[in-house]
Structure 1
Amino acid sequence: MKKIKLNDLPKWTQWPDRLLGLSEWKAAKRTIDKVKKEYDDGKYSEILEYYMSKDHPLSPEEVRIHEYSYYNLYPDTKICISRGENLFETDLNSARKLLYNFLRDVLSKCTKRVDHIFELGCGHGYNLWRLHKIAPNIKYTGGEFSENAVSLANHLYKSDPNLNVVRFNFYDQVYEILEALEKPAVIFTFHAVEQLPSAKHFLTVLSKYRDRIDRVYHFEPVYEFYDETLFGMMRRRYTQINDYNRDLLFELKSREDKIRIVDQKENVIGLNPLNPLSLIEWTFI
């Protein structure tokens, strides 16, 4: 990977211009309607249509590659990524390997500890599918708001009883997906809580199932991890202007009498350098 200077970031993305008000950008409230329009009516509708247009079944990996093409990104496309506070040039395929190797390294140990793993806000279940390839004998369930993504998942995994994706809404008062749980399970999110301007409701509802949850892992951008440097302030402003989550860590720490943060890793990797993925691992006490 080739290191990139922060001053060169505008060569890779329009976001510095937008954040400085040098190009037009309309900020929008991240409501359920906004999420539905952007993902269900937009991205996942197009991907499902693409899948159904083929005369042979596509693999989850082929679907994922097409999903990136929705953003004009292809396996050999050169992109700027972040690792910690540093920027690098690499190709999309190499960046994806770094990202999913991290996900695998963290979650693969869970496959020896529990027999059920949930991803909330899972899209069409790609992350679960990758975990399933590592440990096929445990159960994987995904919850997803987009009807089109759930429909796509039903096509992709229809022959596998251990991998299932169902409708789920973070804003529900009851999480039906967890109601039937009898043994403690692992729950993780991956760039999903970011769609919630506040994590308060989600964590409140999740606490109803505390006796059924072994561990929770958030692979998410974490607003509170952005420092006071120019890069950190750009990341904060990016989060604000997109109305992404800004209180996940705060809400977790405000429940310190009920939960324990086991581990956290800051700004591990960002395929979008202004929206990097961090890890927070926690458990109920």
Structure 2
Amino acid sequence: MRELPLDDLPKHSPWPARLLGCDDWEEQPGYGGIGVSTYDEVYGKLRSLVRENPEMGFRELQRSANHYAEESPVAISRSESLYLVDVDEKQELQDEALVASLAGTLDGGETVVSLGCGWGYELGVLAESYTDCEFLGGDPTENGVALGRDLFGDRDRITVEAFDFRDDWWDLLEGVLADADPDEVVLFTQGSLTALPSVRDIVVETLADYADRVRAGVHLEHVYELHPEDTLLGHLRRGYADLREYNDDMLASLRVADGIDVTSATYDVIGGNPLHPLSEVRWKPA
């Protein structure tokens, strides 16, 4: 890992030039225009790859997908500093941030409910690090759920089920809470709330209803409100989020939701895309 000056970022990402109007490119639909069907198609291709290579584990699948998408070196961010890393090192750093996000929250015996988990890579990583906990993931994509079951179906501590943030109530969570002590359930998301143009209604009207029935909430998410307004990197990140139609109200929604007490918000824990970093937000029942 070596430092990357901000001036050199355009050599490793097309987005600074696009944001500054220096690149004649055909604008694609923002993130809000990408539906569940798009992700379902991607997960379907990964599922076919696993079927062709039945010995492939979840880490091998992720590595294959990473190397298909990018070539080393790639730009990342940590704590508002930019670096160049190998593709595999990028994944290692992301995994470290994922595991660290739940440190101090899990003592052993808890059930972590990961909302919007895709095909469940994060579940496999967490289960290897927290060996006394159970992990339940939910996702709206049919192929994502099926792929997760293909990969983790023989593991007692990992389950993947259907789930959609937009439902009025969350059957996935209702099932867990019916059998578990509230102090043994932790809600988790990683990058899944970004796909929603606004999360205010989901947080205030749905998530908040479960706040007093769980131990804590932990989110590794793209938090627009934390992007600085007094730095060039902060402005680039705000411009990127605006152009891609990412939500800009996650942290504010958590802070105004009844029954939720935001205890920390740590900016730019890891940015696999340096203009769209993950920040760590933790809360507890108020």
Kept in 1, the 8 Å contact 2:108–2:133? The answer is no
Partner of 1:241: 243
Structure 1 stretches (4+) deviating beyond 4 angstroms?
none
Kept in 2, the 8 Å contact 1:108–1:131? The answer is no
In 2, Cα distance between equivalents of 1:162 and 1:269: 27
Kept in 1, the 8 Å contact 2:236–2:275? The answer is yes
Partner of 2:62: 64
Kept in 1, the 8 Å contact 2:198–2:248? The answer is yes
Kept in 1, the 8 Å contact 2:212–2:259? The answer is no
Distance apart, 1:113 and its partner CA: 5.4
Asked if 1:171 is matched to 2:166, the reply is: yes
Count residues in correspondence: 278
Partner of 1:186: 186
User: Following superposition of structure 1 onto structure 2, how do residues 1-285 of structure 1 map, counting pairs within 5 Å?
Assistant: 1-21=1-21, 22-31=23-32, 34-41=34-41, 43-54=42-53, 56-73=54-71, 77-112=72-107, 114-180=109-175, 181=177, 182-184=180-182, 185-203=185-203, 204-228=205-229, 229-255=231-257, 258-285=259-286
In 2, Cα distance between equivalents of 1:258 and 1:137: 28
Runs of 5+ unmatched residues, structure 2? none
Distance apart, 1:168 and its partner CA: 0.9
SS in 1 for 2:91: helix
Kept in 2, the 8 Å contact 1:261–1:280? The answer is yes
Kept in 1, the 8 Å contact 2:139–2:164? The answer is yes
In 2, Cα distance between equivalents of 1:53 and 1:249: 42
Q: Give per-residue Cα distances to partners, 1:219-271, cap 9 Å, x unaligned.
A: 0111011112221111011111111121111112223x532111111112211
Change (3 A) 1:83 1:134: closer
Kept in 1, the 8 Å contact 2:267–2:279? The answer is yes
In 1, Cα distance between equivalents of 2:252 and 2:49: 40
In 1, Cα distance between equivalents of 2:112 and 2:155: 15
Q: Give per-residue Cα distances to partners, 1:122-142, cap 9 Å, x unaligned.
A: 111111111111233332100
Q: Give per-residue Cα distances to partners, 1:67-126, cap 9 Å, x unaligned.
A: 2134134xxx21111112221111122222222212212314333155211111111111
TM-score, length-normalised on structure 2? 0.91
In 2, Cα distance between equivalents of 1:189 and 1:230: 28
TM-score, length-normalised on structure 1? 0.91
Provide the identity percentage. 32
In 2, Cα distance between equivalents of 1:20 and 1:38: 28
In 1, Cα distance between equivalents of 2:174 and 2:44: 29
Supply the AA of the counterpart residue of 1:233. H
Runs of 5+ unmatched residues, structure 1? none
Kept in 2, the 8 Å contact 1:193–1:199? The answer is yes
Query: RMSD of the TM alignment (CA)?
Result: 1.7
Distance apart, 1:210 and its partner CA: 2.3
Distance apart, 1:24 and its partner CA: 1.6
Supply the AA of the counterpart residue of 1:261. V
SS in 2 for 1:265: strand
In 2, Cα distance between equivalents of 1:69 and 1:35: 24
In 1, Cα distance between equivalents of 2:225 and 2:215: 25
